[in-house]
């Protein structure tokens, strides 16, 4: 790997700078500008900005025909107040890099340092800094951007840090690695009334009381298996915060999750049927909105084999692991390339992803980078 100790010091400092300036999905303007500024010194052959919104593609071209490799990192942070106390803690109230996307960006920037000094022998390398991963909207927006057709990757690779695994130890498997999921927002509308005469209105309370356990009851199957079905109520509200008004409106938010896309429609139909029945019994009008739609993420066996060979060549310990119930919008790249992602251990006792005291372990930057660089070397020379 063509990286010096000085590179790693600068990459670590840059990762910590990114950690201090988190931006949530769709708002990653300063982060995208920071990526372009940091990699400008590597003299890429082309930079595409504003891709799918705020995305950035940094391209290193050998000038010779050959495969096109895309390596993806995420730009966005989370709407979570950081409670940890590193010197580089978030400077923005209510926002934090509690998923490690700052570290993923630094890992790709390490590749940029390498390819800035030594282009691949053939083909092209694309470093994609993708917006809005946390909402499931970013990958779809990038792929839908007409400029993405110019990139046309043959292979796409990504990684995600994973607390609970030993530091630097990897999980990599063929097939499905992340679940499909979507957020269902249910609206129930009746008629308000004076709290002293609730019988003159139509309250959604009985329907909400019925639906909360009924929706959760749709869950079934075994964890990390094809038959997994999971419905998780994440939010509910009824009426106005006032003692004098019997409610006329309610909302229930529920996350629907299945191991594969093919199982999702049946779960959607079952949830909507429960709502329709409860609304009819209560004389309520109802409606649905869907948000944060993620396809399942599935590793192509050839792409996974390339990652596996790179890990073995670089001495990175790994095992097949199991699929994760969490969703990941990298799965959309399987529709345009042979794609695979692996999970890199952040430490067995490290704070979990989305915990308010989470911070990316900087020791993972060179580990992830050397795996990706080995993949590039094996394919492009």
| CA–CA dist 132, 127 (Å, integer) | 16
Residue linked to tokens 């097939």:
175
- 364-380 helix and 101-117 helix, angle to the nearest 10 degrees: 50
- Cα 53 versus chain centre, distance: 16
Decide if 244 contacts 231 (C-beta within 8 A): no
What is the pLDDT at residue 1?
57
Which of 121, 148, 141 has the alpha carbon at shortest distance from 65?
Answer: 121
Beta bridge pairs of residue 181: 257, 294
Give residue-wise pLDDT tens across range 37-92. Answer: 999 999 999 999 999 999 999 999 999 999 999 999 999 999 999 999 999 999 99
Comparing CA positions, the residue from 73, 81, 132, 62 lying closest to residue 106 is 73
pLDDT at 226: 81
| 186 DSSP β-pair partners | 252, 288
SS3 32: helix
Per-residue model confidence (pLDDT) at position 253: 98
Taken in order 358, 362, 367, 369, the sign of the CA dihedral is: positive
Q: What is the pLDDT of residue 28?
A: 98
pLDDT at 3: 84
How many residues does this entry show for the chain?
A: 381
Q: Is 90 exposed, middle or buried (0-12, 13-18, 19+ CB in 10 A)?
A: buried
- Please name the residue that has the structure tokens 């106005």: 240
CB environment 32-54: b (16+ within 10 A), e (fewer): bebbeebbeebebeeebeebbbb
Copy the structure tokens of residue 155: 């292979």
Residue 94: how many CB atoms within 10 A of its CB?
12
Using 50 as the pLDDT threshold, list the residues of the chain that sit under it.
none
Query: Which pLDDT score is estimated for 372?
Result: 98
> What whole-number percentage of the chain has pLDDT above 90?
96
Please, what sign has the CA dihedral across residues 298, 343, 21, 111?
Answer: negative
pTM of the model: 0.93
Find the distance separating the first CA and the last CA of the chain, reported in whole Å: 13
């Amino acid at each position: 790997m063509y990286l010096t100790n000085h590179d790693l010091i600068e990459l670590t400092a840059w990762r910590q700078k990114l950690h201090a300036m988190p931006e949530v999905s769709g708002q990653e303007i300063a982060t995208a500008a920071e990526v372009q500024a940091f990699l400008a010194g590597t003299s890429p052959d082309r930079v595409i900005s504003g891709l799918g919104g705020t995305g950035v593609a940094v391209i290193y071209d050998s000038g010779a025909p050959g495969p096109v490799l895309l390596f993806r990192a995420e730009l966005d942070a989370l709407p979570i107040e950081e409670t940890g106390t590193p010197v580089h803690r978030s400077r923005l109230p209510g926002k934090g890099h509690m998923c490690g996307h700052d570290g993923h960006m630094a890992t790709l920037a390490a590749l940029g340092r390498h390819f800035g000094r030594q282009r691949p022998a053939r083909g092209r390398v694309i470093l994609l800094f993708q917006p809005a991963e946390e909402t499931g909207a970013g990958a779809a927006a990038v792929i839908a951007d007409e400029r993405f057709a110019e990139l046309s990757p043959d292979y796409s690779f990504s990684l995600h840090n994973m607390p609970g695994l030993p530091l630097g130890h990897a999980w990599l498997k063929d097939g499905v690695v992340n679940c499909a999921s979507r957020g269902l927002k249910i609206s129930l509308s009746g008629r308000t009334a004076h709290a002293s005469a609730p019988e003159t209105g139509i309250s959604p309370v009985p329907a909400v009381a019925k639906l909360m356990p009924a929706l959760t009851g749709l869950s079934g199957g075994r964890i990390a298996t094809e038959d997994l079905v999971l419905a998780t109520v994440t939010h509910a509200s009824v009426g106005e915060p006032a003692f004098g008004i019997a409610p006329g409106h309610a909302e229930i938010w529920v996350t629907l999750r299945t191991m594969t896309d093919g199982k999702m429609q049946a779960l959607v139909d079952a949830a909507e049927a429960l709502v329709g029945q409860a609304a009819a019994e209560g004389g309520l009008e109802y409606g649905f909105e869907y948000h944060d739609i993620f396809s399942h993420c599935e590793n192509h066996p050839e792409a996974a084999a390339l990652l596996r060979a790179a890990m073995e060549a670089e001495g990175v310990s790994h095992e097949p692991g199991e699929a994760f119930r969490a969703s990941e919008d990298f799965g959309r790249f399987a529709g345009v390339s042979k794609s695979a992602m692996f999970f890199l251990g952040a430490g067995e006792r490290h704070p979990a992803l989305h915990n308010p005291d989470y911070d990316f372990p900087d020791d993972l930057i060179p580990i992830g980078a050397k795996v990706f660089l080995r993949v590039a070397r094996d394919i492009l020379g």
